[in-house]
Amino acid sequence: MSTLEPLPLYLVDAFAERPFSGNPAAVCLVDAWPDDAWLQSVAAELKHSETAFVRPGPKSFDLRWFTPALEVDLCGHATLASACVLWHTGRAAVDEPIRFSTRSGILTAREQGGKIGLDFPLDPQTETRAPPGLLEALGVEAKYVGQGRFDFLVELASEAELRRMAPDFVRLAAVDCRGVIVTARSSGAPFDFVSRFFAPASGVDEDPVTGSAHCTLAHFWQKRLGRDRFQAYQASRRGGVVGVSIDGDRVLLTGRAVLVFEGRLRAGASP
């Protein structure tokens, strides 16, 4: 591609019931991979918690995710957004699953009666001691602390405590991890548990709705409640609903996506 060739660019609100809720993700479609510095520059320019870059392959779509600061190994909401865009543009058939080749292996997305289902790996967490500074930065007393592949998980005693948290993001950025999941039992129906997600070290102070965090939350609440299916709510300012179902070592995450914007990125790049 030439340096002047515009690229298709979309903005999708993921895990959203309506526009301007859920978690906004940018999706950029490319025919060949630009260099990594250009990909990171686009993500930094757009300033969303994740920008997804999608390239067609012979049997699957290659998918990469970038925060404004770095590339990540797994992202749920930007995968959901990418599936929405591929169906919207006709690059994928709605009646067939989409296969994404990613740094976390093959992930699939399926249309499910107006929602999108994502087949992701379960991320088992184990109980651990809170690292120095974690609880102080969050400003909470933990009922439980665990650690998964990417993140620490902190359980609080109530939803009310979770909602009124005001972390010190400068101190939290010093904790060695991708991010911190904070969770509690929901105070009432229709949700089973609530959560918030903070990742200042990754360039995102608070993520509005974090699909990948629910791979860890699924394991935690399965052990805590003895169930395999949940309705979850991420209690950020924008908020978002995530359906969670566990099948062995996989998690099905379901949610809605709303296409908000489509246009052209004029700062094309050479591969």
Residue-wise pLDDT for 38-63, tens only, equals 999 999 999 999 999 999 998 899 99
Q: Which of 5, 45, 50, 136 is catalytic?
A: 50
Residue-wise pLDDT for 257-269, tens only, equals 999 999 999 877 6
Confidence grade of residue 2 (pLDDT, cut at 50, 70, 90): very low
Residue 246's closest CA among 70, 71, 119?
Answer: 119
Q: What percent of the chain has pLDDT above 90?
A: 94
Q: Which range has the worst mean pLDDT, 4-13, 96-105, 161-170, 176-185? A: 4-13
Residue-wise pLDDT for 197-248, tens only, equals 999 999 999 999 999 999 999 999 999 999 999 999 999 999 999 999 999 9
Q: Rounded distance, CA 50 to CA 67, Å?
A: 5
Contact indicator for 87, 62 with CB cutoff of 8 Å: no
Q: Rounded distance, CA 66 to CA 70, Å?
A: 6
Confidence grade of residue 5 (pLDDT, cut at 50, 70, 90): confident
Q: What is the pLDDT of residue 261?
A: 96
Q: How many CA atoms lie within 13 A of 100 on its CB side?
A: 27
Residue-wise pLDDT for 136-173, tens only, equals 999 999 999 999 999 999 999 999 999 999 999 999 99
The model's pTM:
0.93
Q: Where are the beta strands (DSSP E) in 3-114?
A: 7-14, 23-29, 50-56, 61-66, 71-72, 98-102, 105-112
Q: What is the pLDDT of residue 1?
A: 40
Q: Rounded distance, CA 78 to CA 257, Å?
A: 10
Helices within 107-183 (DSSP H only): 134-138, 159-163, 169-172
Active-site annotation holds for 45: no
